[in-house]
Amino acid sequence: MISAIPSDLEAGNPAIVTRDLMKFYKKNRALNGLDLTVPDGAVYLMVGPNGSGKTTTMKILLDLIRPDSGHAEVFSISPATGGARVRAAIGYVPEGRIPGYEWMQVGLLLRHHSSYYPSWDSDYADSLIKNLEIDLTRKFRKLSKGESRRVQLVMALAHFPPLLLLDEPMDGLDPLARDRVIEILIDYISETSATVLASTHHIAELDKLADHMGVLFEGKLLAQNSREEIHTSLKKYLLQVPEDWDGSPDLSNAVVHRKGTRPETSWEIWGDETYVTEQLKTAGAMVRSVVPLRLEEAAVAILAGKEQE
């Protein structure tokens, strides 16, 4: 069932906008008409299976790759034409390690990096280094995945960019490091009111930080909503139904996902609670409970529902 979940966010002067972004590789469509809107000051989680286009989107915003069609804007500047200015405003933590740094000592790497950013704050960098327990004398290639991510986080934050692009920020970090990183991000957001676009598989980790979520699937957004909207409109209805129930209330395709078999079944439905409850009752189901969904549950419901199609 295709849900009627809206994908348009109304936001004056959003930090990021993409319209109908397309990117094809030889065998697949990485992006197939992406309409992304990240409001200014939002913490936006991009979730979706591997290959759904999350990394590709970030690379286009940084002008590391060019889209095949459509356009994108970061703070009203197109990365294709104003790449340098856009990149100056972005702190990027990539998913893997960027090649080319391997031979450098961490200290040299940070010094090299800082010469490209006039707004680099050494005091802040030092405090992050201490907080994340980074050893400046080690060579980058000798670092574990988690350690290299921490260094890349310092590289991204220390110049105080107004936009953070985080590709799987929690990946490779042990629980303590994850907690520290979240603490650092919260502090950063409080200080700068920065916008954050994070792609993640660990939705639960970032749940409390996020105020927007976009669900990506095969290069397109299935849904894009504020946390408020999801909380208000996407709910799990625990239903008790008679044995012979045919299960088709008139809900205008707003059913996102169904689980379970009779007599107790749970449906995740997008819509006004009162209206939906009425429809279900009319169709003969007894609504046992209505529960709002956590972000992770919402994402799972939306993706699972897509598979059910």
Kindly list the residues in this chain that would bind another protein in the complex (CB under 8 A). 13, 15, 40-41, 43, 59, 62-66, 75, 77, 83-89, 92, 94, 98-101, 103-104, 108, 111-112, 115-119, 162-163, 179, 182-183, 186-187, 189-191, 193, 204, 207-211, 227-228, 231, 238, 288-289, 291-292, 294
Contact at 8 Å (CB) between 91 and 161? yes
Nearest distance from C-beta of residue 87 to another protein, angstroms: 4
The least distance separating another protein from the CB of residue 3, rounded to whole angstroms, comes to 21
**How far apart, in whole angstroms, are the C-alpha atoms of residue 114 and residue 129?**
14
Q: Which is nearer to another protein, 216 or 238 (CB)?
A: 238
Nearest to 200 by CA among 84, 81, 47, 6: 47
If the CB atoms of residues 187 and 218 are measured against another protein, the closer one turns out to be 187
Taking the least distance from each CB to another protein, the nearer of 206 and 222 is 206
Residue 112 or residue 142: which is nearer to another protein going by CB? 112
Q: Identify which of residues 30 and 306 has a Cβ nearer to another protein in the complex.
A: 30
Among candidates 37, 48, 115, 101, which has minimal Cα distance to 72? 37
Shortest CB 172 distance to another protein, Å: 18
CB of 287 to another protein, least distance (A): 9
Q: What's the closest the beta carbon of residue 59 comes to another protein, in angstroms?
A: 7
Q: How far is the CB of 115 from another protein (least distance, A)?
A: 4
Closer residue to another protein in complex, CB, 235/306:
235
Length of the chain: 309
Other CB atoms within 10 A of residue 24 CB? 14
DSSP secondary structure code for residue 77 in this structure: B
End-to-end CA distance of the chain: 6
- Residue 122 vs 253, nearer CB to another protein: 122
Residue 155 beta carbon to another protein: minimum distance, rounded to whole angstroms? 9
Nearer to another protein, 1 or 287 (CB): 287
Interatomic CA distance for residues 132 and 181, integer angstroms: 8
> Of 133 and 228, which has the nearer Cβ to another protein?
228
- Minimum distance between the CB of residue 309 and another protein, rounded to whole angstroms? 28
DSSP element (H, E) containing 221: strand 220-226
Token pair 């993706």 is found at 303
Report how far residue 293's alpha carbon sits from residue 39's, in angstroms, rounded to the nearest whole number: 22
Q: What sign does the dihedral 242-244-248-250 (CA atoms) show?
A: negative
* The dihedral formed by the CA atoms of 159, 60, 8 and 218, expressed in degrees to the nearest 10: -130
Q: Which residue has the tokens 């040299």?
A: 108
Contact 167, 140 (CB under 8 A): no
Contacts of 240 (CB under 8 A, 6+ apart): 263, 264, 285, 286, 288
Minimum Å gap between C-beta 2 and another protein is: 26
Which residues make Cβ contacts (< 8 Å) with residue 12, sequence separation at least 6? none
